[in-house]
Amino acid sequence: LRFDEQVRVVVFRSQVKGVFCAGADLKERAKMDDAEVGEFVRRLRNLMDEIAALPVPTIAAIDGYALGGGLELALACDLRVAASSAKMGLIETTRGLLPGAGGTQRLPRCVGVGLAKELIFTGRQIDGEQAASMGLVNHSVPQNSEGDAAYQRALTLAKEILPQAPFAVKMGKLAINKGMEVDIASGMAIEGMCYAQNIPTRDRQEGMAAFREKRPPQFTGK
Catalytic residues, by residue number, are 24, 69, 72, 92
Distance CA 180, CA 87 (A): 28
Contact indicator for 120, 90 with CB cutoff of 8 Å: yes
Distance CA 52, CA 50 (A): 5
Q: Which of 69, 71, 121 is nearest to 93 (CA)?
A: 121
Contact indicator for 173, 115 with CB cutoff of 8 Å: no
Contact indicator for 107, 164 with CB cutoff of 8 Å: no
Dihedral of CA atoms 70, 75, 81, 85 in degrees, nearest 10, equals 40
Contact indicator for 48, 102 with CB cutoff of 8 Å: yes
